[in-house]
Protein backbone atom coordinates (compact mmCIF):
# COMPACT_ATOMS: atom_id res chain seq x y z
CA UNK A 1 0.00 0.00 0.00
CA UNK A 2 1.46 3.36 -0.99
CA UNK A 3 2.22 5.88 1.74
CA UNK A 4 0.10 9.01 1.77
CA UNK A 5 1.83 12.10 0.44
CA UNK A 6 2.77 14.79 2.92
CA UNK A 7 0.59 17.87 2.51
CA UNK A 8 2.19 20.97 1.02
CA UNK A 9 3.30 23.53 3.56
CA UNK A 10 0.75 26.01 2.19
CA UNK A 11 -2.08 23.48 2.04
CA UNK A 12 -4.57 23.88 4.83
CA UNK A 13 -3.10 27.18 5.94
CA UNK A 14 -5.45 30.11 6.09
CA UNK A 15 -4.47 33.18 4.18
CA UNK A 16 -4.17 36.24 6.34
CA UNK A 17 -3.33 39.84 5.79
CA UNK A 18 0.34 40.78 5.95
CA UNK A 19 1.67 41.95 9.28
CA UNK A 20 1.40 45.73 9.64
CA UNK A 21 4.64 47.66 9.27
CA UNK A 22 6.11 48.82 12.58
CA UNK A 23 8.78 51.40 13.32
CA UNK A 24 10.31 50.66 16.72
CA UNK A 25 6.96 49.28 17.86
CA UNK A 26 4.79 52.05 16.39
CA UNK A 27 2.40 51.27 13.51
CA UNK A 28 3.27 52.91 10.20
CA UNK A 29 1.15 54.35 7.42
CA UNK A 30 2.21 56.16 4.25
CA UNK A 31 1.25 59.66 3.16
CA UNK A 32 2.52 61.33 -0.01
CA UNK A 33 5.47 58.96 -0.23
CA UNK A 34 6.46 59.55 3.38
CA UNK A 35 6.48 57.11 6.28
CA UNK A 36 4.20 58.17 9.11
CA UNK A 37 4.62 56.40 12.45
CA UNK A 38 1.91 56.52 15.11
CA UNK A 39 3.60 56.03 18.50
CA UNK A 40 1.70 56.34 21.76
CA UNK A 41 2.64 59.11 24.16
CA UNK A 42 4.54 56.54 26.20
CA UNK A 43 6.52 55.35 23.14
CA UNK A 44 7.36 58.79 21.73
CA UNK A 45 10.72 59.49 23.37
CA UNK A 46 12.00 55.93 22.86
CA UNK A 47 11.02 55.98 19.17
CA UNK A 48 12.64 59.39 18.60
CA UNK A 49 15.80 58.29 20.45
CA UNK A 50 16.03 55.06 18.40
CA UNK A 51 15.53 57.01 15.18
CA UNK A 52 18.21 59.53 16.18
CA UNK A 53 20.62 56.67 16.81
CA UNK A 54 19.84 55.36 13.30
CA UNK A 55 20.73 58.68 11.68
CA UNK A 56 17.54 60.75 11.90
CA UNK A 57 19.61 63.55 13.42
CA UNK A 58 17.41 66.59 12.95
CA UNK A 59 14.01 67.34 14.40
CA UNK A 60 12.58 69.68 11.82
CA UNK A 61 9.27 70.46 13.47
CA UNK A 62 6.98 69.85 16.43
CA UNK A 63 3.43 70.99 15.73
CA UNK A 64 -0.01 70.73 17.28
CA UNK A 65 -3.35 69.96 15.64
CA UNK A 66 -6.85 70.39 17.05
CA UNK A 67 -9.39 68.08 15.39
CA UNK A 68 -12.40 69.38 17.35
CA UNK A 69 -14.36 70.47 14.26
CA UNK A 70 -12.80 68.04 11.76
CA UNK A 71 -15.62 65.97 10.28
CA UNK A 72 -13.80 63.78 7.74
CA UNK A 73 -12.47 60.39 8.81
CA UNK A 74 -8.80 60.49 9.79
CA UNK A 75 -6.27 58.12 8.27
CA UNK A 76 -5.02 56.22 11.31
CA UNK A 77 -3.82 52.62 11.49
CA UNK A 78 -5.96 49.95 13.10
CA UNK A 79 -5.71 50.10 16.88
CA UNK A 80 -4.90 53.82 17.04
CA UNK A 81 -7.85 55.71 18.48
CA UNK A 82 -8.31 59.30 17.28
CA UNK A 83 -8.14 61.96 19.96
CA UNK A 84 -9.00 65.64 19.84
CA UNK A 85 -5.37 66.77 19.74
CA UNK A 86 -2.37 65.49 17.89
CA UNK A 87 1.31 66.34 18.19
CA UNK A 88 3.18 65.92 14.91
CA UNK A 89 6.96 65.53 14.93
CA UNK A 90 8.97 65.64 11.69
CA UNK A 91 12.46 64.13 11.62
CA UNK A 92 14.89 64.13 8.72
CA UNK A 93 17.85 62.00 7.75
CA UNK A 94 20.39 63.88 5.68
CA UNK A 95 22.18 60.71 4.59
CA UNK A 96 18.96 59.03 3.39
CA UNK A 97 17.47 62.30 2.12
CA UNK A 98 14.21 61.30 3.75
CA UNK A 99 11.64 62.47 6.27
CA UNK A 100 9.59 60.55 8.78
CA UNK A 101 6.57 61.96 10.54
CA UNK A 102 5.37 60.88 13.98
CA UNK A 103 1.71 61.50 14.83
CA UNK A 104 0.89 61.19 18.53
CA UNK A 105 -2.74 61.19 19.65
CA UNK A 106 -3.30 63.43 22.70
CA UNK A 107 -6.58 63.27 24.65
CA UNK A 108 -8.44 66.44 25.53
CA UNK A 109 -8.79 65.30 29.15
CA UNK A 110 -5.02 64.90 29.61
CA UNK A 111 -3.16 67.04 27.04
CA UNK A 112 0.35 66.04 28.07
CA UNK A 113 3.20 64.45 26.08
CA UNK A 114 6.81 63.94 27.12
CA UNK A 115 9.33 66.52 25.99
CA UNK A 116 11.85 65.69 23.28
CA UNK A 117 14.31 68.24 24.68
CA UNK A 118 16.75 65.63 26.04
CA UNK A 119 16.93 63.90 22.63
CA UNK A 120 16.74 67.01 20.41
CA UNK A 121 17.50 70.22 22.38
CA UNK A 122 16.32 72.30 19.41
CA UNK A 123 12.72 71.35 20.16
CA UNK A 124 12.56 73.67 23.16
CA UNK A 125 11.00 76.64 21.33
CA UNK A 126 8.73 74.48 19.15
CA UNK A 127 7.27 72.75 22.21
CA UNK A 128 6.71 76.13 23.88
CA UNK A 129 4.81 77.29 20.80
CA UNK A 130 2.55 74.20 20.82
CA UNK A 131 1.94 74.75 24.54
CA UNK A 132 1.17 78.44 24.00
CA UNK A 133 -1.16 77.96 21.02
CA UNK A 134 -2.91 74.66 21.98
CA UNK A 135 -2.39 74.15 25.70
CA UNK A 136 -0.61 70.80 25.21
CA UNK A 137 1.94 70.43 27.98
CA UNK A 138 5.36 68.81 27.48
CA UNK A 139 6.28 66.93 30.63
CA UNK A 140 9.93 67.47 31.58
CA UNK A 141 10.35 70.63 29.47
CA UNK A 142 12.96 72.98 31.01
CA UNK A 143 10.91 76.20 30.59
CA UNK A 144 7.33 75.62 29.50
CA UNK A 145 6.21 79.23 29.37
CA UNK A 146 4.44 81.30 26.75
CA UNK A 147 6.51 82.24 23.74
CA UNK A 148 4.08 84.12 21.45
CA UNK A 149 1.27 85.36 23.68
CA UNK A 150 1.63 87.64 26.72
CA UNK A 151 2.17 85.78 30.01
CA UNK A 152 -1.20 87.00 31.34
CA UNK A 153 -3.12 85.76 28.27
CA UNK A 154 -6.02 83.43 29.06
CA UNK A 155 -6.66 80.54 26.70
CA UNK A 156 -4.87 79.13 23.70
CA UNK A 157 -5.57 80.91 20.39
CA UNK A 158 -5.34 77.96 17.97
CA UNK A 159 -7.77 75.74 19.86
CA UNK A 160 -11.01 75.43 17.93
CA UNK A 161 -13.06 76.26 21.05
CA UNK A 162 -11.12 79.44 21.91
CA UNK A 163 -13.09 82.65 21.56
CA UNK A 164 -12.32 84.43 18.33
CA UNK A 165 -12.05 88.19 18.30
CA UNK A 166 -12.08 88.79 22.04
CA UNK A 167 -9.88 91.83 21.64
CA UNK A 168 -11.63 94.70 19.93
CA UNK A 169 -9.66 95.98 16.99
CA UNK A 170 -9.47 99.75 16.72
CA UNK A 171 -8.72 101.20 13.32
CA UNK A 172 -7.29 104.62 12.75
CA UNK A 173 -9.48 107.00 10.85
CA UNK A 174 -8.73 106.98 7.16
CA UNK A 175 -6.77 110.03 6.04
CA UNK A 176 -8.89 112.57 4.28
CA UNK A 177 -8.36 112.95 0.55
CA UNK A 178 -8.53 116.75 0.67
Whether residue 2 is predicted with pLDDT greater than 60 in this model: the reply is no
- DSSP assignment of 44-67 equals HHHHHHHHHHTT--EEEEEEEEE-
Residue 40 placed within a domain? yes
pTM (2 decimals)? Answer: 0.82
Percent pLDDT > 90 in the chain is 76
Q: Tell the burial category of 76 from Cβ atoms under 10 Å away from its Cβ (0-12, 13-18, 19+).
A: middle
Report, in angstroms and rounded to the nearest whole number, the Rg of the chain calculated over CA atoms.
Answer: 23
> Which CATH number do you get for residue 43?
3.30.460.80
Q: Is 115 helix (H, G, I), strand (E, B) or coil?
A: coil
Pairing label, strands 58-66, 22-23: unpaired
Residue 30 placed within a domain? yes
- Who has greater pLDDT, 117 or 162? 117
How many domains are contained in the chain?
Answer: 1
Residue 70 placed within a domain? yes
Average pLDDT, the chain: 89
Size (the chain), residues: 178
Residue 34 placed within a domain? yes
For the stretch 105-158, pLDDT in tens is 999 999 999 999 999 999 999 999 999 999 999 999 999 999 999 999 889 999
Amino acid sequence: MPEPEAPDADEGATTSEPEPELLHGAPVTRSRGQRVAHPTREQLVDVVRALRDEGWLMCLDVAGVDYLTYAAPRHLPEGVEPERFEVVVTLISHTDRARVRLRVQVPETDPVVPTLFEVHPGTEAMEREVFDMYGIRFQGHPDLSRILMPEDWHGHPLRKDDDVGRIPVQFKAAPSSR
